[in-house]
Amino acid sequence: MCAEPIREFSHFIGIEEENVLKSIANLGDNFFLIHNLDIIFKNSLGLEPLDDVNLKFPAFLYLIIHSEFYQAMASFLRMHHSKSFVSLRIALDCAFTSYYLIKHPDKTDIYLSKLNEEENPEWNRIFRNIKKTVKDHMDNFPLAKGLPEIHEFCSIYSHSDAIGILHRYRMNDAKLEATYFDYEPKLDDYNKWLAQLLGTFFRIYLIFWQEIFTQKAGDKKGQIENSLREYSLRLNDFIKKYPLGDVEAK
C-alpha cells in the first residue's frame, strides 16, 4: 500500500476505492470470515418474531451492532482500522446495554428516561458508564468476560489520545502532512487487526445467541449451532495465526 500524501478530497476517495480492492485481494479466502459472520448476524433476524416486549430494545440494539459491524468492516477494507475500532466500541456499548436489559428488564424504563432529558440518578448509576456496570458485576454477565478491556483498548481510537493520534498520523521532518490511512509495514499486520475485530464481533453475537436467539431458533437450532461451531473453528485458527500482540510497533 502506498502512503502518498492526499492532494484533495477526490484523490482521497480514489485511494479508498483502490484500498478496498487491494484489501479483498490480499485477504483471499479469509475475506469469507467477514462474509460468513455477516450471514450469521443476518440469519438470526429471520428467526421467530421477538414477541416479548422485554426484548424489544435489546433487539433494536442488535440492529445497531450489525450496522456497526458493516461500518467496521468497510473502514478496515479502506485502510481505516482505527475507525473500525471506533465502530467496535459503539457495538460494545450496545452489547453491554442489551445484556444488562436482558438480565434486568425492569430497568428498561430507567434506560428510556434519558429520552425525556430527565435527570435520573438511577440512569447515571447504571447506564452512564455501562461498561463499568457490567465489569463490576461480571458474575451476572459471564459472556462479557474480557470485553470491557477490549472496550478500553478501542477508546484509544475514540478520543484525542496521544497513542491514537500518533498511530494515525506521521509528521514529516520538513512539514506537517498525513496519509489519512492506517497503513502497516507488513501485510500480515492487517490480518492481526482483522482477527481482533472479528473475534470481538463474534463474541458480541454469541451474547445474543445465548440470551435471545437460541430460544427462538425452533427447528433451525441444530443447523445454526453447527454453523457457529464451524465458524468458531475457522476464526480461532485465524486468531491463533495472527495474534494482535505481535503487530509491529510504529
Q: What is the pLDDT of residue 168?
A: 56
Nearest to residue 41, comparing CAs of 204, 217, 193, 211?
Answer: 204
Q: What is the pLDDT of residue 184?
A: 86
- Cell numbers representing residue 226 in the block: 453447527
Q: What is the pLDDT of residue 147?
A: 97
Q: What is the pLDDT of residue 247?
A: 39
Q: What is the pLDDT of residue 160?
A: 56
Residues 171 and 54: beta-carbon distance below 8 Å: no
CA distance 35 to 110: 37
Report CA 195 to chain centroid distance, whole Å. 11
Q: Which amino acid is at 205?
A: Y
- Cell numbers representing residue 5 in the block: 500524501
CA distance 115 to 66: 23
Q: What is the pLDDT of residue 98?
A: 97
The domain locations on the chain are 9-246
CA distance 23 to 27: 6
Q: What is the pLDDT of residue 54?
A: 87
The reported pTM is 0.91
Q: What is the pLDDT of residue 18?
A: 96
Per-residue pLDDT for the chain (250 aa), expressed as one digit of tens each? 556 778 899 999 999 999 999 999 999 999 999 999 999 999 998 887 677 888 989 999 999 999 999 999 999 999 999 899 999 999 999 999 999 999 999 999 999 988 877 778 999 999 999 999 999 999 999 999 999 999 999 988 876 555 555 555 555 566 666 778 888 888 899 999 999 999 999 999 999 999 999 988 999 999 999 999 999 999 999 999 999 764 343 3
Q: Which amino acid is at 154?
A: C
Residues 201 and 27: beta-carbon distance below 8 Å: no
- Cell numbers representing residue 158 in the block: 475514540
